[in-house]
Structure 1
Amino acid sequence: MVMVRVGSSSSIIIMLYERAADSVGLDFLAHPFWDKYLEFEERLDSHDRIFAILGRIVHLPLHQYARYFERYRTMAAQRPIADVAPEDVVARLQADIARESAEKPRNPAEVERELRTRIDAYHLEIFQRTQTETTKRWTYEQNIKRPYYHVTELDEEQLDNWRKYLDFEETEGDYERTKFLYERCLVTCANYEEFWFRYARWTMAQTSITKEVRNEEVRIIYSRASCTYVAISQPNIRLHYARFEESIGKADTAIAIHEAILATAPGDLETIISLANTHRRQYGVDAAVAVLNEHISSSEYNPSIRGALVAELARFLWKVKGDVDEARKTFQKQQQWFSDSSDFWRAFFDFELNQPTSSKEEPSRHKRIKAVFDDIRHKAHLPAQDLAEMSGKYFDHLLDRGDSDAMQEYIELDIALNGPSSVAVASKQKTPGKGAAQANGS
């Protein structure tokens, strides 16, 4: 609220009130602000400005819209006709009265009285439109239980109310009102990245503003979310911020955003992979490989993270660079260091399972797949659930691609992996997949 100091210039204070009107004037519960603004103008005895302010308020769907309209209507009856309606409206009404007066002449007093009556009807139409707009928003407004920021979570009912309210305003199509509602929403829902994402995407889609202005507004939205409100444990909004900057030609800024995330959350796998992909898009595959190698060699990361990064490096070499042999060598060279990394072994196994094949090449392909699976069973130290998952894939491989001796291996593995403890040499954990189902007699 604006505080009036003795000796302050009234023009400066009016400017501050106008800034406040831009910030909060559209709020459904903005009546305390508008009351203070009108009160200030009353102290200046500025009736022209009071009437002008009321003329703005009567168009706004506010909680207390009716009392502002009554005051506006009362003042309008005492104002010059030129002040109480737009010039084109007054001209149209005067023309209508003139046509009617051609048949039945009226004196000037009667003409003015009739004109004021019709202007009052015009004002009532404004009131009815404002009343309708207020009623349409009332359902959403009454379900806003917490219009302020708090660190505690909002319940799903309130979040859903904000989603529906935003849907409504977007459908109405008023840019200023929709933008204002997003800002209101993000006072309450500042910690929820879904609303920051939605705000940024909605802003990007607004073709009514220039591209330069639009980009700057989106940048501010992402910056506020990333630097102030959304927890660092939620990197998605920050990564999207980086992608936005890259999309408008600011690759250096995108890379800097990634590095800032990693400075606060070192070892975040998604961020490292996204950073490598940014380098790949901008500077080529070798640059991406260099980024991954740098992080793989970092002593700050635990083996689980580094194992996942090795898997990603091999995927780059295979899928992006198209070098299958180099990818395989990467897996083979690194496997001794990552016996506990499920991500590493899952990627290695899937890599061999997904290699293209032919009848001629199938025996050598099976040999490579079997070698990896044997290493998973005998060298890796994986949780039972992950071992069961990979065993299921191997059973399916034997069923789908195995040769005439495959069922012998299948049965032996089934006993070893799924048999009772007296005969099993590995986990008694049931192996999922169609292979395990058939092996258990279904």
Structure 2
Amino acid sequence: MVDAHRTFVIVGGGLAGAKAAETLRAEGFTGRVILIGDERDHPYERPPLSKGYLAGSDERGSVFVHEPAWYASADIELHLGQPAVHLDREKKSVRLGDGTRVHYDKLLLATGAEPRRLEIPGTDLVGVHHLRRLAHADRLRGTLSALGRENGHLVIAGAGWIGLEVAAAARTYGAEVTVIEPRPGPLHTVLGPEMGALFADLHREHGVRFHFGTRVTEITGEDGQVSAVRTADGDEHPAHDVLAAIGAAPRTALAESAGLALAPGGPDGPGGIAVDEALRTSDPDIHAAGDAAAVRYPLPASADGTHAPGEWLRVEHWANALNGGPAAARSMLGHQVRYDRVPYFFSDQYDLGMEFSGHAPPGSYDQVVCRGDVGKREFVAFWLRGNRVLAGLNANVWNVTDEVQALIRSGAPVDPLALADPGVPLAALGTQDAGTRNGTPA
């Protein structure tokens, strides 16, 4: 039976929020747990929206974190389809869109992110898509199937993870695909030109056309329906549908209006809700986790200055929600928490499965070292600076994530020749730390 003497409120019906609610009960919390989500669907995981579910290999029901009946059995009070519109820190209450006010003793903001919009003419035409929510995936899955049957053409604005995963799904259905990206290659800000070129080749082999170094400036249509896309360099690309895959912005409005501190922003907007190593915001009774939260980079600054002390980082990936929600729940309960996981994500495109650990944007590294067979796309790549491993990507090679993350976390210099030699165990090159494991391969 629930003891109403304490109430913990979770704003956000995604993976982070659902896992936080689960953890509160698993850790013995007997007070009220209220989960608020602005979607009518029960909490679900987002990776299938651009992978298995979108491609047609997974059923819709497989995306949900828990069966709907679980919430009642765990005494989790759900407010679905209700956005949280106001946070009153003085009164410790959250007001919902229907006027309901919910009191909290502790609050978790797991508000996630929202897709960035193309600020160009034509975005109101039928056939312009975004992909962030299950409803988006439902619609896009039907669209890709129809494009495949009719030899239709999808234009994707953006060659990041979502853009490439949707491109792979679209080609699986048989749709024609063109990807337009202002940077010199796909995944440029994450993988740099070296590994970005590998993904460009992979997609070209499957019939995807790329147009790099320019951006979409207009979507044109006939009778209210998309017919073409124009780019800044004057080209025009035929299109039946367009996907805007130009990134996501953290949903910080609730936190910002309540006066909570935000991390410094960049050219793409706000940097997320600032939290400490225990995932506490600037208000000790409010925590934040998942896509909306920004944490200090968990590893110490390297001797060569690769990472500045206290660099803010916001990670928009599955593992951060999976692990951050439970960590925030334990912190809300007063447990000692230090959330210092190495950033991790995974992707599946055609017959290539990969995992990436660490953080190595262009300009932060001085070489990329590979072990294995890059031509067969069975290898591990490492981004180094001063012979220290900043990040690692394993492509169609499994059960190495722990070792890769141990090398990143150790900060110890490694011999690049030994790193490239499959005969030298990765564990021999760094110090293992079982406490830093980020989970199992996807």
TM-score tier, shorter chain, comes to: under 0.3
TM-score of the superposed pair, with normalisation by structure 2 = 0.26
Structure showing the higher strand proportion among its residues: 2
Higher relative contact order (CA 8 A, sep 6+): 2
Structure showing the higher helix proportion among its residues: 1
TM-score of the superposed pair, with normalisation by structure 1 = 0.26
